[in-house]
Structure 1
Amino acid sequence: MKQLWVEQYRPRKIKEYVFRDEQQERQVQSWVDSKAIPHLLFSGDPGTGKTTLAKLLLHELEVDKGDVLEINASNENSVDVMREKITHFAQTMPFGDFKYVLLDEADYITQNGQAILRGLMESFASTCRFLLTCNYERRVIPAIHSRCQGFHIKSLDQTMFAVRVGEILANEKIEFDMDILDVYVKANYPDLRKCINTCQMNSQTGKLEKPQEGDLTEGNMEITYVAMFQNGDIEKARKYIV
């Protein structure tokens, strides 16, 4: 089976990652140079590279795979997961200096689960580091915010977003019309991952075809807008609607 483009073109090293902010790039490099990181909370829109950056950090720190526990909190977010799975992992001795818990989409963890997580972050502070990603910072309780260094990843501007997708299409020798590409960009922005996946799905003939019915679902976009309004991201929601 042909490899997914999102995996094929995923950065493999920190130097390949596209930072939006020079200060953040320097901060990440300082962690790599010192071989140490604090608890981290990566935030930003879906598909902007939060999980990718977290994994790149662990790779650059040369963390043993046995010292990493990955949990997708959109699927595993209960009190039992926090208390049992993480505790069992964190209480064993690390192969290196620390154990690392990567909690993807931590804003899906229940309030009670987050309360347990806060306690675990304190209990295992000397042997374990927690890396959390979230789309909506407001869903993460203040007690966790205060124990993590925040790292907000901005979306690429729409022009750079389109350029990146165009580069991948060109590299894959896919013929495409700029007007058709623009449809995909406007429908999927700022979720680069989703845009790349949708373009790959619709270019099996060697040409980027017009989106099929259901590829660019307005219903999903409306759900995204509603979620933004509910979480207080009013200006962001208005920008995408306009």
Structure 2
Amino acid sequence: MNHTSSTIHEASQPWSEKYRPRSLDDISAQEETVAVLRKTIVSQNLPHMLFYGPPGTGKTSTILAIARELYGPENMKIRVKELNASDDRGIDVIRQKVKKFARNTIGNPISDGYSCPPYKIIILDEADSMTHEAQAALRRLMEDYSTTTRFCIICNYVTRIIEPIVSRCAQFRFKSLDNFSAKSRLQMICDKERVIYEPEVLDELVKVANGDMRMAIMYLQTAYSVYKDEVITTKFFIPDAVIEELIQSAQSHSFNNIEKAVSHFILSGYSAVQLLSQIQDHIVYDNDNRFSNIQKANMAICIGEMDKCLADGCDEHLQILNLIATISKNILFSEEMITD
């Protein structure tokens, strides 16, 4: 790849990939985990590993950084196989793609200055999406090919990984990034990309991302693509007035008012996922005491169900309509109880 095409490629890259940590030194806010992993790299005798924790905390970046330090950038192409288990999650994939790669032996020559250990690494990202049958097949492969292959299982929810796999792995928990670490990373990206922004913008980004560095970087790049050379002043939070409009439409007990408020919300381009977080705080920390504890509990259940539906890819408009209608129903039921 010549210099011009390389420059074009970098310019078109998502910033979350362009600024992905390349070494363990670049991993933010995971000091304890990185310290233990450094010792395993020195010995070059990696165990099977299980990385778990919230999204955007550096799990995939960490194992890729380890592979880069063990093999070097060029050798990674033949010694590391990365699969996204949310796409390739069936038993056939484990039996074909994973087994075929795992069973091939490989030497440990010194190459490009890297003393490559005599095993390959298979990275299974989002492994908590794999079926139980696929996980059972994976457990057998981890036993049969442990001399030639190390497995790194990456997931958000360790409880969704079967116990036989968990027991065969060294477990590493990745915590959400603290505000200082996340903001420092965003400032570094802004400096390199020459992004002009108001001081409070990065604080808002960090708060909205809630420890998810990938999400914070994605929001930053989105805002930059809109404003270009102007000062970024985008508000990433949904204004209180907009949330209050939705709640007031619920209090009106009129479906027409609810549908109008929800349509206005959707057309304004706000995020349904962000609404869940903010409307929950709006209801739980209600300063006007408009909702009883029972109402708050019922609404929290609906918010949890909506969160699951959105994660499964359901329509945002319908889910928000259902949420506001449920809030209206809870308010109406309470008013009727008081009247009786």
- Superposed pair shares fold, TM > 0.5: yes
- Structure 1: gaps spanning 5 or more residues: 231-242
After superposition, the Cα gap between the structure-2 partners of 1:13 and 1:124, relative to the gap in structure 1 and judged at 3 Å, is same
Deviation at 1:25, TM superposition (A): 2.8
More moved, 44-53 vs 177-186: 177-186
Residue-by-residue CA offset, 1:158-208 (whole Å, 9 max, x unaligned): 233223213322332211113333332222222111111111121131232
Give secondary structure in 1 for the equivalent of 2:224: coil
2:315 alignment partner in structure 1: none
* Matched residue, 2:193: 172
Q: Check if 1:208 corresponds to 2:232.
A: yes
- Aligned residues of 1:67 and 1:95 also touching (Cα < 8 A): no
Shifted more, 106-115 versus 95-104: the winner is 95-104
Equivalent residue number for residue 331 of structure 2: none
CA distance in 2, matches of 1:124, 1:164: 39
Q: Any runs of at least 4 consecutive aligned residues in structure 1 with deviations exceeding 6 A, and if so which? A: none
Separation (CA, whole Å) in 2 of partners of 1:100 and 1:165: 31
Partner residue, 1:193 = 214
Instruction: Give the alignment partner of residue 93 of structure 1, picking from 101, 105, 127.
Output: 105
Q: 1:221 to 1:32 in 2, by over 3 A?
A: farther
Show the 5 A alignment for 1:143-182: 143-182=164-203
Structure 2 CA distance, aligned partners of 1:62 and 1:151? 22
Distance between the aligned counterparts of 2:55 and 2:193, measured in 1?
A: 24
Gap change, CA 1:109 and 1:198, over 3 Å in 2: same
Point out which structure has higher relative CO (alpha carbons under 8 A, 6+ apart): 1
Q: Deviations over 1:208-236 (max 9, x none)?
A: 2415854x61336749x849x98xxxxxx
Contact 2:135 2:162 (C-alpha < 8 Å) held by counterparts = yes
Alignment match, 2:112: none
1:61 equivalenced with 2:115 (yes/no): no
| Residue range with higher mean Cα deviation, 161-170 or 145-154 | 161-170
Identity of aligned residues (%): 34
TM-score in terms of structure 2 length: 0.61
In the TM superposition, what is the alpha-carbon distance from 1:32 to its structure 2 partner?
A: 1.6
Once residues 187 and 62 of structure 2 are traced to their aligned partners in structure 1, the CA distance between those partners, rounded to angstroms, is 22
Q: Aligned partner of 1:14: which letter? A: L
Unpaired runs of 5+ residues, structure 2, are 1-7, 109-117, 237-267, 278-302, 309-340
Q: 1:14 aligns with which of 24, 35, 38?
A: 24
2:15 match: 5
Q: Aligned residue pairs: how many?
A: 226
Letter aligned with residue 51 of structure 1: T
Indicate the residue corresponding to 1:41 in structure 2. 50
d(CA) in 1 for partners of 2:304 and 2:38?
37
Q: 2:139 & 2:275 partners in 1: Cα distance?
A: 33
Q: TM-score, normalised by structure 1?
A: 0.84
Equivalent position SS for 2:128:
helix
Spell out, residue by residue over 1:62-87, the C-alpha distance to the aligned partner (whole angstroms, 9 max, x if none): 16321222110111100101112111
Take 2:198 and 2:17, find their aligned partners in 1: how far apart are those partners? Answer: 24
Assess if the C-alpha contact under 8 Å between 1:156 and 1:190 holds in 2.
Answer: yes
Q: CA RMSD in A?
A: 2.4
Aligned to 1:234: none
Which residue is 1:76 aligned to? Answer: 88
Which of 10, 20, 28 is 2:37 aligned to? 28
Distance 1:220 1:123 in 2: 45
1:102 positional shift: 0.7
Structure (1 or 2) with the greater helix fraction? 2
Q: For 1:25 and 1:71, how far apart are their aligned partners in 2?
A: 23
